Chain A
Amino acid sequence: MRTVYLDNNATTAVDPAVLEAMLPYFTEQFGNASSMHAFGSAVGAAIKAARQQVQKLLGAEFDHEIVFTSGGTESDNMAILSALEASPERDEVITSAVEHPAILSTLAHLEKTRGIKVHVIPVDKKGMLDIAAYRAALSERVALVTFMWANNETGTLFPVVELAELAKEVGALFHTDAVQAVGKIAIDLKSTPIDMLSLSGHKLHGPKGIGALYVKRGVRFRSQQKGGQQERGRRAGTENTPGIVGLGKAAELAMLHMDDEATRVAALRDRLEKGILQRVPSCFVTGNPHERLPNTANIAFEYIEGEAILLMLNRAGIAASSGSACTSGSLEPSHVLRAMDIPYTAAHGATRFSFSRFNTDADVDHVIEVVPAIIDKLRAMSPFWAGANEKAKDFKPVYA
């Protein structure tokens, strides 16, 4: 059976060139970069090269602005904890309602345990930030502003450079969770006031368990993980050399493919969206179609539930993902879609197709071919679907 992987916002396939670059660091190049012998110095050089590759991808001014971590989650946690510790006279944080749990859960925890105040800025129906609410929340009590660059569910982009400029006006640090943006859109940090940025290897065809936090030169930073002097004392622990080398290679390849991502991949995504919208009634694209990652399509199919859609897609060889409650075991559909005020009738059926440079036209053809029948079949079973059942309008379950 043909398999089509369209869940690249969840994770990506490791590029074969990345794997090849990593392999020696599991075998002959096993040294510890801190050691005073040849084994160590070769590894130290490889880590430096990887740091420069990431630096280039981010358009950072210095390579030492890159701190390697275990991934996006650690980078997000590190940025928040460091910022609060570095600004003890400020105890407020500003974030948005649609951040990843790596941000929201961390802040909720700090709110509960340390009494910091968290301003959660709402978004509109397209997922765009309420700038007026953001401006109103800004004050000299704010230690950190953290807004994601691109949303993982809808691909919607926040204007982080302008948001960072506003944060500067009150002297707050600005962090962005760019886990979904890095490698997909051009970034040039040296020309921005962004202080910190999180990225993750496995979202750009690198390995899992490796990521980085960019910390602009001169930004107050407090190390969170204590121990040795690795990463200039900012993140202790013997380096994950194979992971770092893999991330470096992945960053280099992402630069090479950036144009392809912006044009060919975006065209695939657009064709899939058009194809589905033309063939399937009562569905719509969520997020802001004009301010969006080139690879993400999030389509809400009304009156049916996302997990059921995914199971059917999976049987047809298609891997996608859903903001439905049932896939996560919670009762609520995705907080992102709810924050955008997508009605429950549609939020549960929201299905995300996320592309990568490894997708092809044939992939899109296959999806467009099988999706309409899947939606029809599930709607025929749905008590809310009026198209199949005249009486659906009267359907009033007891605790709806």
Chain B
Amino acid sequence: MWDYTDKVKEYFFDPKNAGVLEEANAVGEVGAISCGDALKLMLAVDPETEVITAAKFQTFGCGSAIASSSALTEIIIGKTLEDALKISNQDIADFLGGLPPEKMHCSVMGYEALQAAVANYRGEEWQDDHEEGELVCKCFGVDAGMIERAVRANKLTTPEQVTFYTKAGGGCLTCFDKLEEVLASTNAAMVTEGLIMAEEAYRLGSVDPRQLKTKAKPGAAKPKTDIDQVMAKRPPTASAMPPASAVAAAPSLASTGRLTTVQKIRLIEEGLEEVRPFLKKDGGDCELIDVDGSNVYVKLSGACTGCQMASVTINGVQERLIAKLGMPLRIVPVS
């Protein structure tokens, strides 16, 4: 059973501002039913003053997701959009008296919904930066995707740096092995992409975790803003990830680093064809259903659908496609 604060329980059992806001003129929708949480944030913004005069939410999710959504509405009502945008996910968690580390993503969802709603109000498109991945650091709720982004954006090459930038590994350190793995594999990919020199790349096992002195405190001010920056800003993909293999596949586009949709789909299909023999060997298969932006929807079948194996399969296929297209992609299994 999760150790929820009384405030979380209060906002879950008696949520404030739950429901539909008919007069909303700013709506943010984030989340995914596959991940188990999704949030629709509805705001009424006074066009004159840009003050949020009303806010309501609808949430599909666990207790802390509902509480975080409700807390968010309470925090932002009466604020200007500008002030509201300064709110971090940690502020939402703090408002609730803290969240269990595994549940920090619920506050992140609130933060993202707000960004999305404001973008919607301003007529901009909001891009989420969720690449997901396995939760690595349980103390601070940092997943593999966040570590990878921080490593890429800041050219990190040591576990200490990862801890400074993401807080991962700043607590009990039981995640050191995984943290090290993500760092090493990201570095290795960066070497192939020519982003760092081979000598700079982190080698597995070259740091003794007993020697690490980096101890972050939950909610410590400095790393908090760093992680917020890392999470809020996707690294400029075109420059950070020169598409090594795409250069060969689409030389004329290499300078912009962008593929047309048709080229993208062709490369994805090629990539999937390459992995299918491996899947078939284990009695599985996969089929491309749709491509939407950086989301690649595939249908896994046969032995691939057993979940433990499925996530391994998905990660493997995803890595292959990323390498092939030289751009961040997310495999979304559909049924």
Question: Which of B36, B126, B295, B310 contacts A326 (CB under 8 A)?
Answer: B36
Q: State whether B135 touches A326 (Cβ < 8 A).
A: no
Give the residues from 307 to 335 in chain B that come closer than 8 angstroms, CB to CB, to chain A: 307-311, 330, 335
Q: State whether A305 touches B65 (Cβ < 8 A).
A: yes
Most chain B CB atoms below 10 A, which of A136, A137, A335: A335
Q: State whether A311 touches B29 (Cβ < 8 A).
A: no
Known contacts A331-B35, A339-B307; A307 and B62 CB within 8 A of each other: yes
Q: Kindly list chain B residues whose C-beta atoms are within 8 Å of the C-beta of A341.
A: 305, 335
Question: Which of A96, A120, A122, A325 contacts B35 (CB under 8 A)?
Answer: A325
Q: Tell me whether B278 is interfacial, beta carbon within 8 Å.
A: no
Known contacts A383-B39, A397-B38, A397-B40; A335 and B306 CB within 8 A of each other: yes
Q: Tell me whether B226 is interfacial, beta carbon within 8 Å.
A: no
Most chain B CB atoms below 10 A, which of A332, A338, A399: A399
Q: Tell me whether B185 is interfacial, beta carbon within 8 Å.
A: no
Complex CA–CA separation, A384 to B40 (angstroms): 10
Q: State whether A305 touches B62 (Cβ < 8 A).
A: yes
By the criterion of a CB under 8 Å from any partner CB, how many residues of chain A are at the interface?
54
Q: State whether A397 touches B31 (Cβ < 8 A).
A: yes
Q: Kindly list chain B residues whose C-beta atoms are within 8 Å of the C-beta of A96.
A: 306
Q: Kindly list chain A residues whose C-beta atoms are within 8 Å of the C-beta of B12.
A: 308, 311
Q: State whether B130 touches A97 (Cβ < 8 A).
A: no
Q: State whether B335 touches A343 (Cβ < 8 A).
A: yes
Closest chain-B Cβ to A181's Cβ sits at a distance in Å of 21
Segment among A198-206, A241-249, A254-262, A388-396 that sits at the interface with chain B: A388-396
- Which residue of B is nearest A105, CB measured? B308
By the criterion of a CB under 8 Å from any partner CB, how many residues of chain B are at the interface?
53
User: A330-345 vs B: 1/0 string, CB under 8 Å?
Assistant: 1111111011010111
Q: Tell me whether A382 is interfacial, beta carbon within 8 Å.
A: yes
Q: State whether A344 touches B33 (Cβ < 8 A).
A: yes
User: By DSSP majority rule, is chain B's interface helix, strand, loop, or mixed?
Assistant: mixed
Question: Which of A120, A306, A330, A383 contacts B135 (CB under 8 A)?
Answer: A330
Complex CA–CA separation, A325 to B295 (angstroms): 22
Q: Tell me whether B128 is interfacial, beta carbon within 8 Å.
A: yes
Q: Tell me whether A88 is interfacial, beta carbon within 8 Å.
A: no
Q: Tell me whether A90 is interfacial, beta carbon within 8 Å.
A: no
Closest chain-B Cβ to A139's Cβ sits at a distance in Å of 13
Q: State whether A339 touches B305 (Cβ < 8 A).
A: yes
Closest chain-A Cβ to B113's Cβ sits at a distance in Å of 9
Give the residues from 374 to 389 in chain A that come closer than 8 angstroms, CB to CB, to chain B: 380-384, 389
Q: State whether A122 touches B62 (Cβ < 8 A).
A: no
Question: Which of B62, B305, B307 contacts A308 (CB under 8 A)?
Answer: B62
Most chain A CB atoms below 10 A, which of B32, B36, B138: B36
Known contacts A304-B60, A400-B34; A383 and B40 CB within 8 A of each other: yes
Q: Tell me whether A64 is interfacial, beta carbon within 8 Å.
A: no
Q: Other than the known A122-B306, A338-B305, A383-B59, what 13 A-B pairs have Cβ atoms closer than 8 Å? A: A122-B303, A307-B62, A311-B13, A334-B307, A335-B306, A335-B307, A380-B19, A381-B57, A383-B29, A383-B38, A399-B128, A400-B31, A400-B32
Question: Which residues of A are at the interface with B, using a C-beta cutoff of 8 A?
Answer: 96-98, 104-105, 108, 119-122, 133, 136-137, 303-308, 311-312, 315, 324-327, 329-336, 338-339, 341, 343-345, 348, 380-384, 389, 391, 395-400
Question: Which residues of B are at the interface with A, using a C-beta cutoff of 8 A?
Answer: 2, 9, 12-13, 15, 18-20, 29-40, 57-63, 65-66, 102-103, 116, 126-128, 130, 132, 135, 138, 282-283, 295, 302-303, 305-311, 330, 335
